[in-house]
Amino acid sequence: MMRSIMWSCKKTGKLPAHGPIFVVSDIPFIGKYKPNICTFICKKIPFVGNNKNHGFTFIELMVAVAVVAIIGVIAVPSMYSFVKDNRLTTQANDLIADLMTARSTATKNNRRVALCASSNLSSCTGGTAFQGGWIVIVDSNNDGTFAAGEEIVRIHTAVPAETGITITASTASSITFETTGRPTVTGVSYTLNDNRPGNSKVVTVSNSGRPRVEKGS
């Protein structure tokens, strides 16, 4: 049979000598004794009913706002530079990957392969600006440009305009790799810039045909 017992601690605020009291005392527990648990009735709970707690003062609030403002001033420019650097690195890596594809395709298929600027992504459009896109083609007639019937191996779309990135070739609008993997023209490089002084990257093709990236001036 369930026995309901109520106990108030309004006067003493202490537990009775015989242990904690539950609203319903006959609750099955594992073991002989009930656990030492007491409700918070009339107990002095921290921060409850304490007249000294009024939240933040105006000075504390202004200090917190100042700290957040300082952190924002430091973090925002760093984040901006991080995003710009990441975009520039991504485009440099894409160009290196396609140069490596052109070189490996030439040696594997024993045919000349060219990488050229292409703003329409279907033919070599000429010029030294590569931010409009480029294509990798099998140069069957060895003219360094795309002709009808030639295979397009890889297409790279234009660099997003909002990035502000420009890619400029040093000498020609295309680079052709021999069957040995060597370029037909030496000293070819591509400068990637996003209009931040001292933050450009340069992709250079060595005489053996291997591209590498380095920090520009």
What CATH number is given to the structural domain containing 111?
A: 3.55.40.10
d(CA 29, CA 33): 8
Residue 205: per-residue pLDDT:
96
Range of the domain at 135: 79-215
| 59 backbone dihedrals φ, ψ, rounded to 5° | -65, -45
Residue 181 domain-assigned (yes or no): yes
Residue 56 domain-assigned (yes or no): no
Residue 158 domain-assigned (yes or no): yes
Residue 87: per-residue pLDDT:
93
Residue 191 domain-assigned (yes or no): yes
Residue 60: per-residue pLDDT:
84
CA atoms within 13 A on the CB side of 187: 3
Tell whether pTM > 0.75: no
Q: What is the mean pLDDT of each run of 10 residues along the chain (217 residues)?
A: 40 50 48 51 51 70 86 75 90 96 94 93 91 93 79 94 93 90 93 88 95 87
Residue 7 domain-assigned (yes or no): no
Structural domains in the chain (count): 1
Residue 87 domain-assigned (yes or no): yes
Cα Rg of the chain (Å, integer): 37
Residue 48 domain-assigned (yes or no): no
Residue 85 domain-assigned (yes or no): yes
Q: Which long-range contacts (C-beta less than 8 Å, at least 24 apart) are formed by 25-33?
A: 26/1, 26/2
